[in-house]
């Protein structure tokens, strides 16, 4: 359970996660953290970074869509690509009171599971992307402990549904931020700071960047004539820069010289 609101991961929907896993691990030295099965989908998470820096990417693949076809419908309508941002919260019911007081209507609220309570904000309220709010009481360590445990014991999976990834590549990447296009930067400031407790950590002409306690970041760029939503994921990588599509999402990595840079 977290002590404050924190940006936990960015989720990407894909009909088949195998190619993304191979690339994130085999080329970018990503660390497979965990995965499992759920109603209509199966997730797994890859850390692009380490205990101190980076962000986590969650890959979502359809599984038994006859039980719940939300992900299959999303893929049929939009294709592979960014699906949602997950923010962990210490008290979901209290957070939902804040959501309603701020004028938003939460959807798909589920408070029944004592280990995982969740609710969502519609893209029209969240600058073009789905936002998941989650209160977790699972027996998992924080990200530093999780990465350390994975290096010794392997990922948390029950069971592991994805193929064994290749050996980690030499070009270690660090995911730094999710970049959103928005029609209203001022509204985004109120949303990400006033509601989701992000801290402004940079701003310029037409853009703002927010950061959360574990270092995950969202940058919003005001683009009045473009669709709102996730535009790209940004970070850095050892060696030559990279601009590639992974699970339908644009991944842009600038060059750095070494792991310590």
Examine the pLDDT at 76 and tell me if it is beyond 60. yes
Q: Residue with structure tokens 């990922």? A: 155
**Residue 160 pLDDT:** 93
Tens digit of pLDDT for each residue in 150-189? 988 889 887 899 999 999 999 999 999 999 999 999 999 9
Q: Which domains does the chain have, with CATH numbers?
A: 6-157 (3.10.180.10), 173-256 (2.60.40.4320)
Examine the pLDDT at 202 and tell me if it is beyond 90. yes
Examine the pLDDT at 243 and tell me if it is beyond 90. yes
Mean pLDDT of the chain, nearest integer: 95
Question: Rg of the Cα trace of the chain?
Answer: 18
**Residue 145 pLDDT:** 85
Q: What φ, ψ does residue 201 adopt, rounded to 5°?
A: -130, 35
User: Are the C-beta atoms of 30 and 146 separated by less than 8 Å?
Assistant: no
Of all residues in the chain, the percent with pLDDT exceeding 70 is: 98
Tens digit of pLDDT for each residue in 212-236? 999 999 999 999 999 999 999 999 9
Examine the pLDDT at 37 and tell me if it is beyond 60. yes
Cα separation of 44 and 71, whole Å? 14
Residues 1-5, mean pLDDT to the nearest whole number = 83
Q: Can you spell out the DSSP letters for 72-89?
A: HHHHHHH-SEEEEEEEE-
Residue 1: pLDDT band by 50, 70, 90 thresholds? low
Helical ranges in the chain per DSSP H: 18-26, 70-78, 92-101, 143-153, 185-189
Cα separation of 47 and 41, whole Å? 20
Helices (H) and strands (E) in the chain, counts: 5, 16
Cα separation of 129 and 78, whole Å? 12
**Residue 206 pLDDT:** 94
Beta strand segments in 111-196, E:
116-121, 130-136, 156-157, 173-182
Tokens of 230: 């996730």
Examine the pLDDT at 118 and tell me if it is beyond 60. yes
**Residue 144 pLDDT:** 84
**Residue 177 pLDDT:** 99
Cα separation of 103 and 221, whole Å? 23
Q: What φ, ψ does residue 116 adopt, rounded to 5°?
A: -150, 100
Cα separation of 216 and 210, whole Å? 8
Examine the pLDDT at 261 and tell me if it is beyond 60. no
Cα separation of 130 and 124, whole Å? 9
**Residue 80 pLDDT:** 99
Residue 260: pLDDT band by 50, 70, 90 thresholds? low
Tens digit of pLDDT for each residue in 84-101? 999 999 999 999 999 999
């Amino acid at each position: 359970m977290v002590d404050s609101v924190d940006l936990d991961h960015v989720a990407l929907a894909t009909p088949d996660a195998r190619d993304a896993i191979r690339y994130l691990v085999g080329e970018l030295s990503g660390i497979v953290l965990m995965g499992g099965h759920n109603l209509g989908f199966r997730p797994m998470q890859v850390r692009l970074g380490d205990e101190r820096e980076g962000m986590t990417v969650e890959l979502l693949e359809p599984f038994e869509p006859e039980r719940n076809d939300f992900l299959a419908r999303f893929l049929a309508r939009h294709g592979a690509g960014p699906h949602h941002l997950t923010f962990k919260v210490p008290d979901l019911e209290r957070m939902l009171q804040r959501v309603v007081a701020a004028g938003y209507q939460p959807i798909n609220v589920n408070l029944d599971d004592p280990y995982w309570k969740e609710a969502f904000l519609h893209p029209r309220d969240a600058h073009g992307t789905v936002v998941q709010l989650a209160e977790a009481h699972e027996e998992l360590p924080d990200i530093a402990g999780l990465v350390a445990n994975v290096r010794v014991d392997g990922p948390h999976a029950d069971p592991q549904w994805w193929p064994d990834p290749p050996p980690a590549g030499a070009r270690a990447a660090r995911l730094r931020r999710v970049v959103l296009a928005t029609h209203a930067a001022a509204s985004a400031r109120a949303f990400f700071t006033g509601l989701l407790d992000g801290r402004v950590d940079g701003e310029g002409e037409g853009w703002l960047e927010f950061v959360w306690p574990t270092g995950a970041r969202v940058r919003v760029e005001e683009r009045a004539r473009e669709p709102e939503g996730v535009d790209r994921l940004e970070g850095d990588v050892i060696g030559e820069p990279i601009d590639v599509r992974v699970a339908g999402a644009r991944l842009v990595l600038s060059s750095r010289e070494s792991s310590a840079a």
